[in-house]
Amino acid sequence: MDVLNCQSFQIDKFKIPAFRLNEGEIVTLNLWNGGHFFDLERKLISIYSGEKSVKQVITSKQLIFDEHIRLSRWTEFFYPLTVERYLRKYAEPIEIHLSIFPDDRLKPKTRISHLAGNPRRFLSIYASLSKCKGLIFDLVGVDPQGALDLYQIVEDFVTSKNGYAILLNNFDEMKDRCVKHYNIEVLNE
């Protein structure tokens, strides 16, 4: 069943390709690297998550964006956010949280501010996947091995839980791992 049906359309100077996203699949959209990445990513997230309506995109099921963990310096000083508190606040169910992470440094009392990019992304990905079967995610802030690990976590979830995901990527490294890989075209004006 189609979760998302996207006809080709244009955002600013970028041509978004036509594609279909079904349950049990991951679609990779390559936005290419550059100053346009975050602006284009935000626009695509608002369209694919249903916040902004575009007639060329039809969604039948919910997709949510995996927000990066952002900390308030003021709050962190007085009441630091720990792995356990983060998971209680943003994910469900608490009993199985730590069993899915390949990193044994993730302990319940570990402060989020002490974690590097990869473990932080593992936490935010898990919190998003615990809420919804549909995910929009990127690999910003992780190293190459972390990108492969994150992709593997999402891929395992998608295949085992009949989920679905869109990876907004700025490099070609996932091209061989993903069955549905599309490049966003830059139009010359």
- Tell me, what's the pLDDT at 104? 63
Same domain, 54 and 143: yes
Same domain, 43 and 57: yes
Q: Which of 131, 149, 181 is the last residue of a domain?
A: 131
Q: Which of 131, 157, 172 is the last residue of a domain?
A: 131
The C-alpha atoms of residue 134 and residue 131 are separated, in whole angstroms, by: 9
- As for how many domains the chain has, the answer is 2
Same domain, 53 and 21: yes
Same domain, 137 and 125: no
Same domain, 151 and 96: no
The alpha-carbon radius of gyration of the chain (Å, integer) is 17
Angle of CA points 177, 7, 17, to nearest 5°:
45
Range of the domain at 58: 1-63+132-189
Per-10-residue mean pLDDT of the chain, 189 residues long, equals: 89 92 93 82 93 91 89 84 87 58 69 87 88 90 88 90 91 79 84
pTM: 0.88
- Tell me, what's the pLDDT at 101? 54
Q: 173: domain CATH number?
A: 3.40.50.300
